[in-house]
Amino acid sequence: MDYRTPVLICAVLFCGASVTGASISGTVNGSDGNPIRAGRVVARAQSSMVRLPPNTSSSKIAEIGLDGSFSASGLAPGTYLICAQTQRTTWLNSCEWGGKGSVVVLSDSEPSATLSIVLTRGALVTVHVNDTGQHLSEEGKTPGVHLLVGVPTDALFFEQAWVVSQDSTTRTYQILVPFDRSLRIVVGSAILHLADVANRTLPRLGNTIPILTPLGQAAPTIVLNITGRG
């Protein structure tokens, strides 16, 4: 009998605790002490060398419950970066600004971890765009007609602003940034001509607008004009 066969089968099937997968659970609260009632927690493996037993994954997205709790199961052993985020609220992503998120190590001997994540409030900066020529109505129809609005984060990720309202001649964006930070909002277009609130011409690309919102104060509103295209 070849006594190596069971060992080989065990290695291929990843015998042991990791067959059912590891898990991460915990709570997400705001800095005011109240639970975050909507959002998600992302667990992402920090190495491509994470071994994957059957029915496990190297990344998971867990929805945050109404009580602020979350649970991600079926993870492979390895090191994970944990990020909590909400959509279109005033709570900053735990990995994009300031802190670098939480790092968790899961193994066969320690297959579970519990976290308490605290999110910090940010300032909602408004970017109001006047478009009397209705050039933005061609966005998605005419190549190159697009307005880029966003800000680089601490995690070297470009966070795009979201559209909160629009009509035929105006569009309003918002973007969440930290308080008490000197930042630059990036605004640009390859085709559209831009001007500031005083109608001074702005560069099409590479244009940045400095902002700073002190804690406790309302975030600024940036007003831009689209004056033409081509």
DSSP H or E segment with residue 150: strand 148-152
Q: Are 83 and 103 in contact (CB under 8 A)?
A: no
- The pTM score is 0.81
| pLDDT (tens digit per residue) in 34-76 | 999 999 999 998 865 455 555 555 789 999 999 999 999 999 8
pLDDT tens for each residue of 188-219: 999 999 999 999 999 877 889 999 999 999 99
**Domains in the chain, please, with CATH?**
13-119 (2.60.40.10), 123-229 (2.60.40)
Percent of the chain as helix, strand, coil, to the nearest 5 = 5, 45, 45
